[in-house]
Structure formats: structure tokens, C-alpha cells
Structure 1
Amino acid sequence: MCGRFAFHSLDLSTLAKAVHQHDLFVDAEPRYNVPPGTLISVARRVAAEAPVTIEQLWWGYQPYWADAKAPQPINAKAETIATSHYFAPAFKRHRCLIPVDGWYEWLNVDGRKQPHYLTRVDNQTLYLAGVWTERGDDKPPGVAIITEPARGTAREVHDRMPLALDDDSLEPWLDPHFTEREAIRGVIRHIGAELIQHWTVSTAVNRPGDNGGPALIDPL
């Protein structure tokens, strides 16, 4: 799954190159412990001919047409997102990217949960595939991060991981012209498993919020 992440570099250069734009930047502060139920930086294209924009959207997905008591998931499974009544409309029309530097998972060690930080070995930005939906009542749109079965060393920490896309997949993922599942599958690839590394970090990250700053991602 993906329930906490860090985005501190604010570097969107790979995405800017992929979508042929020079004006992509993040109007936000570096964050080292981003929890659900907060505003996060999201890249999306709201119409077929519109430019890619970076906006602050809500991490929690609840469509405006859903009952008020409907769930507000933060993740969606890659295996079922295209056929799920809850997510399928967004998968077809409202795909987005969530830039992060890394994410956290917790490994049970002797009855205690030890946090690990997972990131790219080359320190490049990770672009996580997501979907967004209008929430209504003047609320900012809500977002869910897509997850897939864990690969490579990520499997040592958790059985699932966020779907991080390779550079060539960024533009087609944001292209509203792709609406059918098989067409999307044909142009989308996740990054290689060999690009992911992880290490243990302080349990200070267990407290949601930006506690500790850069020290939160330091290896123990």
C-alpha cells in the first residue's frame, strides 16, 4: 500500500520534459511525512487539449455522487481499478500523477512496527500513478494512489507498493485520449524493480505530520 510519503526535492524536471512544458513547479514547502487526509501536490490534465497543471488536491477519494457515508480510500488496486464501480470512471478520464521522493512502510519486527523508507537508488523523483475525482460542495478534488504487488526489495517490507511509472509513461498516463484498459496497458510501464531501495528510519515518522524534517528519512 502507500499510506505515507515524503516530497522534499520539489523537482518536476522529468515530468516537465515528458510533457514538453517549461512552467511546471510546485508551490509548496518540502514535506517529509505526508499523511492521508491532507492536501498533496498532484499533476493532472483536466481536458484533452489542456496543459498539465500542478495542484493541491485532497488525499482521499470519495466521488461527489457517492453517499456521504461511502468510504474515502487513499489507495486503489491496479488489478481492479478499471472494473471497479467506484474507480472506473476516474481511471478512464481522471488519471493523475503524484510526485514523491519516497514512501514509508512498516515491517513487524519482534512485535514492533519498524518504519522503512523506500526510494529510488538514483535519487530521482518517483511519479506515482493515481486517479482523482470531484468531491462536490466546493471541496478540492480527491485522489487515490494506485498500488500493485510489491517487486524487488520492496517485497521485504510489504506485499504491495505504489505504482511508480517510468519516464516514457508519464505523458500517456495523463492523456485523456486513452480511455480503454488495454490501450492504457499498452503504453504504461512501471519503473524497474532494481531502482527501488529501502532502509530503516526513526519511529518518529509514526506520528503523522511533518515531524523532524529531513532527519525522518535518515538511515538508522
Structure 2
Amino acid sequence: MDFSALAEAVHQPDLFADAEPRYNVPPGTLISVARRADDEAPVMIEQLWWGYRPAWADAKSPQPINAKAETVATSKYFAPAFKRHRCLIPADGWYEWLSVDGRKQPHYITRADEKTLYLAGIWTERGDDLAPGVAIITEPARGSAKEVHDRMPLALDNDSLEPWLDPHFTERDAIRGVTRHIDAGLIRHWPVSTAVNKPGDDRNAALINPL
């Protein structure tokens, strides 16, 4: 992944990540996340847990991996993080499954210009020994992504990266006023091997190859 757009947005030319490329990242694992640990901290790329459960929630509470854009700012579970703990998840693409003749065919969805996607997310301190937890914000699918699934991650354009991570924006209307998703015309997808159905093999670059 190319982090240059994010590095430029947050005015940190030396921002980088040491993570090895991963091609099949399952929920309930550590993922690369750009965030501020507090309002005064610089943006860092860290490994956080893909599974959101606030520290105040009990051990039986859900650990969602996604939060809907329509309700993330008003839900008791998500609203505090939307206000103060927004983050970005850099990715080259994601998988969705399309029903074809009674079976589910995985598709890889990415940017047509091959640039890094920056997925909007929220994070929270958890009440266990795991790293802080993350949920990716989703919105109704747009562009060609609608051919595969009715929802998609909220991928922000480059001008939105800095304000999304800016702790001075705390109100929903203000945040929405300074952030935009990428143009729907940038989204493309293709079918890939059903090998992605088996989590564990996340170093195989062939998983994203078109069939």
C-alpha cells in the first residue's frame, strides 16, 4: 500500500507502516489503523483489533466489525467513538460475495486507479487484554459495488483524510461537512478464487487475481 496521500494529509512525510502485505484479512485479528491515541497525539499507524466493544460493555456484548454510516453518530454504542475516536483503515480492496446459480462467488472490489483506499472507522478502548477495537463504517453500495452487495465500506477521498482524523471536529454535521467519499466511478470489481473462503492464508497475492 502507498501511504503517501495520508502522510501528506497529516503533514508527516515520514509516516509509514511496517506491516507485511495481507490478502485475506479476517475479522477478529489485528489490522493496520491510522489514528490519534488522544487529541494531542500525532497520527500513527498501529495494529488494532478488528472487533469493536467499548470497555464499559460487558463480556457478552457484541463485537461488531462494522458500523452503519446512517446511525454511527447517534447509536449509544458508537457515538462516543464517532465524536472523539475516528480512524482510517488503509486497504487495497475488500471482498464481497455474489450469489450465482445457488452458490456464492467471491469478488474483489478495489479502486480502478489502483491507489490505496482509506476506509473510515472508529476505535475504542476495550475492557480486555486486547488492543483497542475497531469497526469499519459502511454505507449503501455505490457504483459497480452495487452489482455485488448492497453495502460497502465508506472510502474517503484524499481531501477528507485530515479532517476525518482532526479531533476538533466533534459534531456530526461538521464532520459530514468536511468529508466526502470517493467518486463512485473509481470502483471496480472482478471474481476471484473461492480460496478466499478459507481464512488463514493471508500472504497469497494470487487471491486477488481475476478468474
TM value normalised by structure 2: 0.98
1:62 is matched with which residue: 50, 53, 66? Answer: 53
Percent identity, please.
82
> What stretches of structure 1 move > 3 A for 4+ residues in a row?
none
- Residue by residue over 1:73-99, the C-alpha shift from the partner in whole angstroms, topping out at 9 and shown as x without a partner, is 000000000000000000000000000
Classify the secondary structure of the residue corresponding to 1:173. Answer: helix
Aligned to 2:174: 183
Q: Distance in 1 between matches of 2:55 and 2:43?
A: 23
1:25 is matched with which residue: 16, 27, 30? Answer: 16
Q: Distance in 2 between matches of 1:211 and 1:24?
A: 24
| CA displacement at 1:137 relative to structure 2 | 3.4
Deviates more, 1:102-111 or 1:206-215: 206-215
Aligned to 2:82: 91
Aligned residues of 1:14 and 1:167 also touching (Cα < 8 A): yes
Considering only aligned residues, what root-mean-square deviation do their CA atoms show, in Å? 1.0
| CA displacement at 1:47 relative to structure 2 | 2.5
Aligned residues of 1:102 and 1:117 also touching (Cα < 8 A): yes
Q: Distance in 2 between matches of 1:16 and 1:29?
A: 19
* AA matched with 2:17: V
* AA matched with 2:155: A
Classify the secondary structure of the residue corresponding to 1:32. Answer: coil
Aligned to 1:81: 72
Aligned residues of 2:21 and 2:203 also touching (Cα < 8 A): no
1:146 aligns with 2:137: yes
How many residues are aligned here?
211
Extract unaligned runs of 5+ from structure 1: 1-8
Aligned to 2:152: 161
Q: Distance in 1 between matches of 2:202 and 2:145?
A: 24
| CA displacement at 1:200 relative to structure 2 | 0.3
1:12 aligns with 2:19: no
2:200 is matched with which residue: 200, 203, 209? Answer: 209
1:195 is matched with which residue: 165, 186, 198? Answer: 186
Aligned residues of 2:22 and 2:202 also touching (Cα < 8 A): no
Q: Distance in 2 between matches of 1:209 and 1:94?
A: 29
1:37 aligns with 2:28: yes
CA distance 1:217–1:47, change in 2 (3 Å): same
